[in-house]
């Protein structure tokens, strides 16, 4: 079936001071109208990518069916006329913020799932994460005659599968994935099977669920809850599961490695109602706040979250410190697509459109503001201005993650290193730059303690990926290093 065109849509204009969530993937195997469940699952994963979404379904009558749309899931996959294009008992989808390939305005060619026809049948594939050697693989493939349709790193996997000499799609996928480096949680679908696979370090999440006799693969458990599915287990780091009818095979195609799950999933990316590694994300964030109150107490009258992501940590800070919790900042839930093409004047209002200070609560008070992270610092400065203008006596920032000093190469969009405030300023310098009374971040050990490791970070063998805080990259970011060498060479005078 063909898909109708949808208009290009700009990315959200007011959220440029956060690390951008990566992507969400969701698959349903073995239930009538599987695509309807996928649409609901993607809706629950919308926080992982708001630029575009796609669903592929398979039915014996119509074969593979694809709809890709730019924009929110709720606007793209609620009409019956669209869902009628996606019949069948198996379907999978992807919601996207571009972390590789074209950024900003999305072209439909970049939207996943990708689809390819192999000699043994078709295969759809969707990927959360980022391949760190995609540039060099792409160059080699192009040299050998591959013709790429998009700039997505995921397409490298498809071309590598096409070149494999194995007889089955799962075996071709294993061949391909052994050649790529980076972070990947992948869902793939053939005529008869659904496949879920995580990279050897398990940087990005992927869970398995059960809905009656159907199987579900999802980035997060909150997207199992939305359809009433049961959580079965996490796909293990380095594991490939192949779902075929009622059976699941588990394969381990990669060399074993110590897992390094992304610790930022606990801090910010995952939804607070998801469960990771058997621990509720909400509870972890609450414990981060309590840890922060012990490490960096403040003399204040109220503790306020910067909504929504700072809320559980602010509750934890308040419970531990005994300082009353209050909603000193209110989030406008409906800002976003109201302003499709903001003028410069509206863009300048930025934070004010999204957040409003609750003057009656903060006036005359010493306020502790709890946020999940500081990236560029532009939002923190504006909030400080607004809260002082509303009459707060003092403003203390407490941050539920260590200073973000390094870019992520594993599926999270971070600004260049020069734009990260903590990359070139000490904590004191940042405090002065923001013009606040005090600024403290949770320590890396404190964050590990809150994530369930009482002895903190094991520096010899860290339990998580924490590269954006520590600069310790568990997977060599080879493309990025090559690019920075090229940039350096371009700026060096010729000898």
Where along the sequence are the contacts to ligand SF4 (CB under 6 A)? 203, 262-264, 408, 410, 412, 465-468
Nearest CA to 399 out of 350, 364, 347, 434 is that of 434
Got the DSSP string for 215-246? Answer: EEEESSTHHHHTTTPEEEEEPPTT-EEEEETT
In the complex, least distance from residue 465 CB atom to ligand SF4, rounded to whole angstroms: 3
CB atoms within 10 A of CB 223: 29
In the complex, least distance from residue 395 CB atom to ligand SF4, rounded to whole angstroms: 27
Please answer whether residues 313 and 446 qualify as being in contact, where contact means their C-beta atoms are separated by less than 8 angstroms: no
Task: Give the residue with the Cβ less far from ligand SF4, 357 or 465.
Answer: 465
Place of tokens 């940042």: 430
Token output for 41: 């699952």
Task: Give the residue with the Cβ less far from ligand SF4, 262 or 304.
Answer: 262
Task: Give the residue with the Cβ less far from ligand SF4, 224 or 467.
Answer: 467
End-to-end CA distance of the chain: 58
- Helix then strand count (H, E) for the chain reads 18, 23
Q: Is 16 left (phi over 0), alpha (psi -120 to 50) or beta?
A: alpha
* Burial (CB count <10 Å: 0-12, 13-18, 19+), residue 398: buried
Task: Give the residue with the Cβ less far from ligand SF4, 164 or 270.
Answer: 270
In the complex, least distance from residue 236 CB atom to ligand SF4, rounded to whole angstroms: 18
Task: Give the residue with the Cβ less far from ligand SF4, 264 or 397.
Answer: 264
* DSSP H or E segment with residue 101: none
23 is catalytic: yes
Q: Calculate Rg over the CA atoms of the chain.
A: 23
In the complex, least distance from residue 59 CB atom to ligand SF4, rounded to whole angstroms: 37
Which is catalytic among the residues 23, 123, 222, 468? Answer: 23
Task: Give the residue with the Cβ less far from ligand SF4, 19 or 31.
Answer: 19
* Burial (CB count <10 Å: 0-12, 13-18, 19+), residue 313: buried
Please answer whether residues 57 and 30 qualify as being in contact, where contact means their C-beta atoms are separated by less than 8 angstroms: no
* Positions marked catalytic: 23
């Amino acid at each position: 079936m063909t898909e109708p065109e949808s208009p290009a849509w700009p990315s959200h204009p007011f959220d440029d001071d956060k690390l951008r969530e990566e992507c969400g993937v969701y698959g349903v195997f073995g239930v009538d109208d599987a695509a309807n469940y996928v649409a609901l699952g993607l809706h629950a994963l919308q926080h992982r990518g708001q630029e575009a979404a796609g669903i592929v379904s398979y039915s014996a009558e119509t074969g593979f069916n694809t709809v890709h749309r730019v924009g929110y899931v709720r606007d793209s996959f609620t009409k019956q006329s669209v869902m009628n294009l996606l019949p069948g008992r198996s379907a999978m989808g992807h919601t996207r913020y571009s972390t590789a390939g074209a950024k900003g305005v999305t072209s439909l060619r970049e939207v996943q799932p990708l689809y390819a026809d192999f000699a043994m049948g078709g295969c759809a594939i969707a990927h959360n994460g980022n391949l760190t050697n995609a540039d060099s693989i792409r160059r080699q493939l192009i040299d050998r005659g591959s013709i790429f349709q998009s700039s997505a790193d995921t397409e490298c996997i498809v071309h590598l599968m096409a070149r494999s000499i194995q007889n089955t799609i799962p075996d071709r996928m294993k061949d391909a994935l052994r050649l790529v480096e980076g972070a990947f949680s992948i869902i793939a679908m053939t005529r008869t099977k659904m496949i879920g696979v995580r990279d050897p370090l398990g940087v990005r999440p992927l869970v398995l669920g059960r809905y009656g006799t159907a199987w579900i693969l999802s980035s997060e458990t909150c997207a199992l809850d939305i359809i009433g599915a049961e959580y079965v287990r996490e796909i293990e780091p380095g594991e490939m599961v192949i779902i075929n009818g009622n059976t699941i095979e588990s394969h381990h195609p990669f060399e074993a490695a110590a897992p390094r799950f992304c610790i930022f999933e606990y801090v910010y990316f995952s939804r607070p109602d998801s469960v990771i590694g058997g621990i509720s994300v909400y509870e972890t964030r609450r414990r981060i706040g309590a840890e922060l109150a012990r490490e960096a107490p403040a003399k204040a009258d109220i503790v306020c979250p910067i909504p929504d992501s700072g809320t559980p940590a602010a509750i934890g800070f308040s419970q531990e410190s005994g300082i009353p919790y209050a909603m000193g900042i209110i989030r406008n839930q409906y800002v976003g697509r109201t302003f499709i093409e903001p003028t410069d004047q509206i863009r300048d209002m930025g934070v004010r459109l999204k957040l409003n200070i609750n003057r009656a609560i903060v006036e005359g008070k010493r306020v502790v503001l709890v946020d999940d992270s500081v990236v560029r610092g532009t939002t923190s400065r504006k909030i400080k201005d607004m809260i002082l203008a509303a009459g707060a006596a003092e403003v203390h920032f407490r941050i539920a993650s260590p200073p973000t000093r390094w870019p992520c190469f594993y599926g999270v969009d971070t600004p260049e290193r020069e734009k990260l405030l903590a990359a070139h300023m000490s904590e004191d310098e940042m405090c002065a730059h923001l013009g606040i009374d005090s600024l403290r971040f949770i320590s890396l050990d404190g964050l590990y303690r809150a994530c369930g490791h009482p002895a903190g970070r094991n520096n010899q063998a860290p339990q998580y990926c924490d590269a954006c805080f520590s600069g310790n990259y568990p997977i060599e970011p080879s493309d990025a290093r090559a690019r920075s060498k090229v940039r350096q060479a371009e700026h060096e005078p010729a000898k």
